[in-house]
Amino acid sequence: MRSGIGPRAELEALGIESVADLAGVGRNLIDHVLVAVVANPRPGVPHDPRVTNPVGIRYTASGSNEFNDMQMYVITYFDKSALVGSSIDLPFPCVAVVPGLQRPRARGRVSLRSADPSVPAVIELNYFGDPEDTRRMVDGVRIAWRLMNSRRFAPTSRTSSTSRVRSLIPIAPLPTSYATIAAPSFIRSARRRWAGFGQDAVVDQYCCVRGVEGLRVVDASVRPNIVRANTT
């Protein structure tokens, strides 16, 4: 956009000469949203620092028309240094069950606030901008809560009144309000930026930028939708 490729009116308003009027630049931003249900481990439960990868379970949300639109992580070891740039911040040691929305419907955008490269861009993730995203995540958090309080987790996590399950959502038991769960302060996510094909596509099927000769974009930003799996 600072090179003049993007929505003409927006760029010219910032004093940037338009090279190619492409409304799709900065649009169709998609992200995997994660909400963690976290518990303290029982005393004596080992935490091996060599085991850093979570277990992932893919599943289809109830009432969803898209296959494998959710993923559930079971984390037994957390190392924030392995997630550089992420806003995820779990206590250590911890046991966490983390539902992730793999195919969100909401779309965000990236725009400029200044032509100055030292001024950060505006990133609007628009989490839960679609009610169906909220419904599916609420369903996922409820499943995670039941798993955390199930007999399968009983040997590893403490759920007594003196050391109950700790969650990023201040609940015990889980609230019925969608708004409570969807509040931005309870959302943690590693940020991933996407653009995409479509009505306002920036590139053609050969990844050539429309209206700019000799320029291609060859990375994940040209995908029309986010993948239903880990992006890193």
pLDDT tens digits along 146-190: 887 777 776 565 543 333 333 333 233 444 444 444 444 443 332
136: three-class secondary structure by DSSP: helix
- CA angle 222–226–230, rounded 5-degree value: 120
Q: Say if residue 74 is in the same domain as residue 106.
A: yes
Q: Say if residue 132 is in the same domain as residue 211.
A: no
Q: Say if residue 231 is in the same domain as residue 119.
A: no
The pLDDT value recorded for residue 73 is 86
Q: Say if residue 22 is in the same domain as residue 55.
A: no
> Among 50, 54, 31, 77, which Cα is nearest to 189's?
31
Q: Say if residue 42 is in the same domain as residue 145.
A: yes
Q: Say if residue 75 is in the same domain as residue 165.
A: yes
Domain total of the chain: 2
The Cα–Cα gap between 198 and 211 comes to: 16
> Among 155, 189, 132, which Cα is nearest to 42's?
155
Contacts of 66 by beta carbon, 8 Å cutoff, 6+ apart:
60, 103
Q: Say if residue 69 is in the same domain as residue 35.
A: yes
The Cα–Cα gap between 7 and 20 comes to: 8
Specify whether the CB–CB gap between 113 and 121 falls below 8 A.
Answer: yes
DSSP state of 182: H
Domain carrying residue 145: 31-192
Q: Say if residue 2 is in the same domain as residue 39.
A: no
Q: Say if residue 80 is in the same domain as residue 121.
A: yes
Residues of the chain with pLDDT under 50: 159-199
Considering the entire predicted model, what is its pTM?
A: 0.73
The pLDDT value recorded for residue 193 is 31
Q: Say if residue 222 is in the same domain as residue 131.
A: no
* Burial of 30 from C-beta contacts in 10 A (0-12 / 13-18 / 19+): buried
Q: Say if residue 19 is in the same domain as residue 105.
A: no
The pLDDT value recorded for residue 79 is 64
CATH number, position 84: 3.30.560.10
Q: Say if residue 210 is in the same domain as residue 143.
A: no
The pLDDT value recorded for residue 191 is 31
The Cα–Cα gap between 66 and 103 comes to: 8
The pLDDT value recorded for residue 175 is 44
